[in-house]
Amino acid sequence: MKPRKLFSFLIATAAILAAGLSWRALAQQPPTNIKIEGTSTVQTVAVTDFRATGAAQQYMALFNATVTADLGASPLIKLVPKTLYPLQVPQSINDLQAGAVPTAHPASGLRLTDWGLAPVNANYLGFGYGAEQGSQFVLFGYFYSTSNAISTLQQAQLVAKPYTGTLDEDGVRRVAHQYAADILAVFGAKSLIGSRIIFVSDRTGSKEIWSMSYDGTDQRQITRYNTISTFPSVSPDGKKLAFTSWLRGRPEIVLFSLESNRRLNFYNQQASMNAFVDFTPDSKQVIFSSTANGGAAQLFTANIDGSGLRRVTASNAIEVEPKINPKTGADIVWVSGRSGMPQIYRMHIDGADAQRLSNGEGEATNPAWAPNGQQIAFAWTKGFEPGNYNIFVMDVTDSSKLVQLTNNEGRNENPSWAPDNVHIAYASKRGRSSQIWTMTADGKDKKQLTTQGSNEKPVWVAASQ
């Protein structure tokens, strides 16, 4: 490989940009739509503005806004604008009237079938009310089908329960998330409540590992090593964090407990680089890239403490960014330079049956498995100048099936799927700094989560069990 291509590949794998490491040290068709899980059937939903009594009144605007944001972020749901609602809206089940709308009378809004008529045309109705009880915030939330085919109110009822929380903004926001999650569960969708995004930020002066809630709130610093810490990965059981750090002057793997917030033992091979670590689905082993062989970086597997090293690849090319299929644990995708510029490959975890997934055009990097194990998201310079990446999604069983998620929105890299298989976090550089954004897996509903410093390499982590 020529020096110019070597350097370009290094840019693509982000080793120089993230670490200041030289490449020489490491080396010693048009897109078509694919089916995104959870987007095939869209339900039209109306949710009224909840009201409250007593001290709870002041928090209802926050509650209503949070529910709207949670439901509106799901591609499963189309929210009906409140300007189309009837003049009367129910607050409790006692407000509901049975039966269909009388022919001679306009829709009052107190019959479920009223909400299925024009101009609302909703398939489902959510309503309820809040109150202060014993210095606690109590919310009574309901969710009903508006179908004419359902003969009784009891049959139409899908959610009817009380929710409790502290009487403050955090408590009310948490209750709103829980109510929205119950609505999403009706349609088989997973809630993102409790999930977090691990990412890299330089806001304190050096690249450290940070964590935040899925909506960008509650941003917390995890590491304080005052050096470069990057490329985070979290074990599927949510207990361990692994990342690449320059604590001893060269890139090595650091294992960190998310339970005790302490560093754990991990044996790093004698090498100029150990980096790009990922966990097996049982959280007992890891795969990573290393120059332990003395030549170009290759892929190795090891036990969770770094023992039991086994080489997976044996090529003259640079092999980096391995990611294990979270559904099967049997196959991996990774980035290789064996065909020239960095491309994405797939093989069995023992190194057999390697095949290239990307078509060889441009630079393809940062592969990330969807939770269903059927698609990957990745960064690609297809159709753009070198180094100008966009996010794509590919079906791994048919690599010709592609969808481009970003376009003319800066440099977009390091996608990571949410636990719901519907959302993706990624880093987007639109100007001088990179920030963490999220979007649905069809490229819609893009939202910026970070603003301080430069932020990159997000990893979306499921809520702790």
The residue assigned the tokens 């990957």 is 376
Residue 111 pLDDT: 86
The Cα 336–Cα 170 span in angstroms is: 46
3-state secondary structure labels for all residues of 165-198: EECCHHHHHHHHHHHHHHHHHHCCCCCCCCCEEE
Give the count of beta carbons closer than 10 Å to the beta carbon of residue 360: 10
Burial environment of residue 163 by CB neighbours within 10 A (0 to 12, 13 to 18, 19 or more): buried
Identify any residues that bridge with 336 across adjacent strands, giving them in sequence order.
Answer: 319, 343
Residues 127, 120: contact at Cβ < 8 Å? no
Residue 7 pLDDT: 32
Residue 303 pLDDT: 97
Residue 48 pLDDT: 95
Residue 204 pLDDT: 96
Assess whether the previous peptide bond of 3 is cis (omega < 30° from 0).
no
What structural domains does the chain harbor?
43-186 (3.40.50.10070), 194-461 (2.120.10.30)
The Cα 344–Cα 365 span in angstroms is: 6
The Cα 129–Cα 137 span in angstroms is: 11
pLDDT in tens, the chain (465 residues): 333 333 334 333 444 334 334 433 444 433 444 555 544 578 999 999 999 998 999 999 999 999 998 888 787 889 999 999 988 899 998 998 876 655 545 567 888 888 988 899 999 999 999 999 988 999 999 999 998 767 688 888 999 999 999 999 989 999 999 999 999 989 888 778 889 999 999 999 999 999 999 989 899 999 999 999 999 999 999 999 999 999 988 999 999 999 898 999 999 999 999 999 999 999 999 999 999 988 899 999 999 999 999 999 999 999 999 999 999 999 999 999 998 899 999 999 999 999 999 999 999 999 999 999 999 999 999 866 556 899 999 999 887 789 999 988 999 999 999 998 989 999 999 989 999 999 999 898 899 999 999 999 999 999 864
CA-based radius of gyration for the chain: 25
Identify any residues that bridge with 241 across adjacent strands, giving them in sequence order.
Answer: 234, 256
Structure tokens at 253: 């793997």
Angle at CA of residue 239, ends 236 and 243, nearest 5°: 80
The pTM of the full predicted model, rounded to 2 decimals, is: 0.79
Give the count of beta carbons closer than 10 Å to the beta carbon of residue 152: 9
Give the count of beta carbons closer than 10 Å to the beta carbon of residue 154: 10
Amino acid at 454: S
Give the count of beta carbons closer than 10 Å to the beta carbon of residue 259: 9
Please report how the helices 60-72 and 169-186 are oriented relative to each other, as an axis angle in degrees rounded to 10: 40
- In terms of phi and psi (left: phi > 0; alpha: psi -120 to 50; beta: otherwise), the region of 408 is left
Residues 7, 15: contact at Cβ < 8 Å? no
The residue assigned the tokens 């498995």 is 369
Q: How many helices (H) and strands (E) does the chain have?
A: 6, 30
The Cα 81–Cα 44 span in angstroms is: 11
The Cα 346–Cα 355 span in angstroms is: 5
Give the count of beta carbons closer than 10 Å to the beta carbon of residue 261: 10
The Cα 345–Cα 365 span in angstroms is: 10
